[in-house]
Amino acid sequence: LYDLDDEQRLDDAIAFGASTPVLVGALWRRGRGEAVLPALDGRGVVANYLHQVTGREPDEETERALTAYLIAVMDHGFNASTFTARVIASTGADAAACLVGALGALTGPLHGGAPSRALDGLDAVATADRIEPWIRGELAAGRRLMGFGHAVYRTADPRAELMKRVALRTGGPRVELAVRFQESAERLLAEAKPGRDLHANVEFWAALVMEQCGLPRSMFTPTFAVARTIGWTAHILEQARDPKIIRPSARYVGPQVRVAA
């Protein structure tokens, strides 16, 4: 980034954004020992991504559902992965290095690695009558309910509301169970943690949407990365225009230095 002008940086950003879904889909198939599928005639990037990962040509409703997800999570302020990308960009490193650093941050279960875990609760309860006992048991054991609570939002996550509407369009027993699970979880969290105002976050309903679209759970975080690459590159371009390196200071609070007599 340090040695490139704005036009060259933008060319790199566009190339990375365009190639990421193609690479992810192809690597998924290669990793399973399957041939990479040819592009679908007249279909866009989302349909082709679903085609590579699921092996089926998606219908318009499925394509629209995943498109809504990808747009909803494209960018979200200075989250951990975005901030990582900007720190690396501030050093003048190339855009690929910035994206690799962002990907590393995204793999953490408290960040982008959580969507598949959000479904673990639904798997564990299986039926509506087991929801409340299971959640009470998790809270009593001090375990976190994946898919609930957010580092920023103290009210409902608007992205979660959007993804919930997308999931409800498809419907089915799994979605009905998720609705019941959300209602019970938010009520029991309010009882256990008064004043915290914990609600379903985007990962809870996004996981349902990706599952409905036929994506395997191991591809939830890579699919998140496909969307977030666009946001990361936008932040990288912006940061590259600032000549200052991001260098936070720290204050030492350890034992006092002892000087020998």
B/e letters for 198-218, b = 16+ CB within 10 Å, e = fewer, are bbbbbbbbbbbbbbbbebeee
Cα-based distances in Å from 149 to 23, 118, 153, 199: 32, 12, 8, 5
CB atoms within 10 A of CB 260: 3
How far is Cα of residue 66 from the mean position of the Cα atoms in its chain?
A: 13
Could you confirm whether 57 is annotated as catalytic? no
Could you confirm whether 203 is annotated as catalytic? yes
Distance of alpha carbon 65 from alpha carbon 75, whole angstroms: 18
Helix 202-212 to helix 158-170 angle (10° resolution) is: 30
Catalytic residue (one of 63, 138, 199, 203)? 203
B/e letters for 165-180, b = 16+ CB within 10 Å, e = fewer, are ebbeeeeeeebebbeb
How far is Cα of residue 19 from the mean position of the Cα atoms in its chain?
A: 18
Catalytic residue (one of 51, 63, 138, 150)? 150
Mind telling me the catalytic residues? 150, 203
